[in-house]
Amino acid sequence: MDVMSSFSLAGKKAVVTGGSSGLGAAAAQALAQAGADIAVADIDGGEADSIIAKINDLGRRAIFIRTDVSMARQVEKMVAQVKHEFKGIDILVTSAGVGKKVAAEYLAAQEWEQVMAVNLKGVFLCCQKVGREMIRRKSGSIVNISSMSGTIVNKDRKISAYCASKGGVIMLTKSLATEWARYNVRVNSIAPGYFTTPFNDKWMADPAMSEAALELTPMKRFAAPEEIGPAAVFLASGAASFITGHILLVDGGYTAW
């Protein structure tokens, strides 16, 4: 196979959680540009209509399935619906996530649980339920969106539950990669740095916070959401055929200092 066609996702079927917004929306559109049909699974309709329209404009199928990824039954129903409509799932991108900025000594148990429920349990449930289908078919590629915050602590940010959840996603990714390699199911993660998505709107609008974050980023800029797309396509595609258990930092060098 020639090198460029190894990046093609023609005929593939993908589920993207958190696909109504930000990095999930950008990943969904990138996978569609590479040829995949897309199921957007998100708790919120958000921008889903316009994202689905853009994917349809590319000549690909796209469906929205309202799903709370922290609820096992909802994830099961979502997977069953995708299997029914698409007759299989080749790719899973887990981008659904939430943050919580509270000093650790004041973080309520319920706030901790909410972050873990979406960011870690949600990734586990989606990987497990989609992974079973991939194991059955002996083929699949999973890309979990973790964060550079799973490898370092963001300077001066009080986000202990978030960092712990993302560290968990990284180790879950490696664990699943080793368990499922024998079934030809690859499991990798993208660990983003600072991207301009609704997730960061508030603090990025504060010049002092923004400048402090840029100072710590060697490339001296934030990433556009679209910059996640090529990394997602690469890991999802045959171009990454011998890559599993890998954590791909897309962080403008933040963690390199």
Ligand X SMILES: NC(=O)c1ccc[n+]([C@@H]2O[C@H](COP(=O)([O-])OP(=O)(O)OC[C@H]3O[C@@H](n4cnc5c(N)ncnc54)[C@H](O)[C@@H]3O)[C@@H](O)[C@H]2O)c1
Catalytic-residue membership of 162: yes
State yes or no: residue 90 binds ligand X (CB under 6 A).
no
Q: Could you say which of 180, 195, 234, 254 contacts ligand X (CB under 6 A)?
A: 195
Measured distance CA(128)–CA(180) in Å, rounded: 11
State yes or no: residue 43 binds ligand X (CB under 6 A).
yes
Q: How many helices (H) and strands (E) does the chain have?
A: 9, 7
Measured distance CA(210)–CA(162) in Å, rounded: 19
Residue 192 CB partners (closer than 8 Å, separation 6+)? 23, 145, 147, 148, 223, 228, 250, 251
Q: Under rule CB under 6 A, which residues in 131-150 are in contact with ligand X?
A: 145, 147
Per the rule left: phi > 0, alpha: psi between -120 and 50, beta: everything else, 88 is left
State yes or no: residue 194 binds ligand X (CB under 6 A).
yes
Measured distance CA(86)–CA(41) in Å, rounded: 14
Q: Around Cβ 156, how many Cβ atoms within 10 Å?
A: 9
Region binding ligand X by CB under 6 A among candidate stretches 21-29, 100-108, 229-237, 241-249? 21-29
State yes or no: residue 232 binds ligand X (CB under 6 A).
no
Region binding ligand X by CB under 6 A among candidate stretches 49-57, 83-91, 103-111, 188-196? 188-196
State yes or no: residue 118 binds ligand X (CB under 6 A).
yes
Region binding ligand X by CB under 6 A among candidate stretches 96-104, 129-137, 179-187, 236-244? 96-104
Residues that bind ligand X (CB under 6 A): 17-18, 20-24, 42-44, 46, 67-70, 95-98, 118, 122, 145, 147, 192, 194-195, 197-200
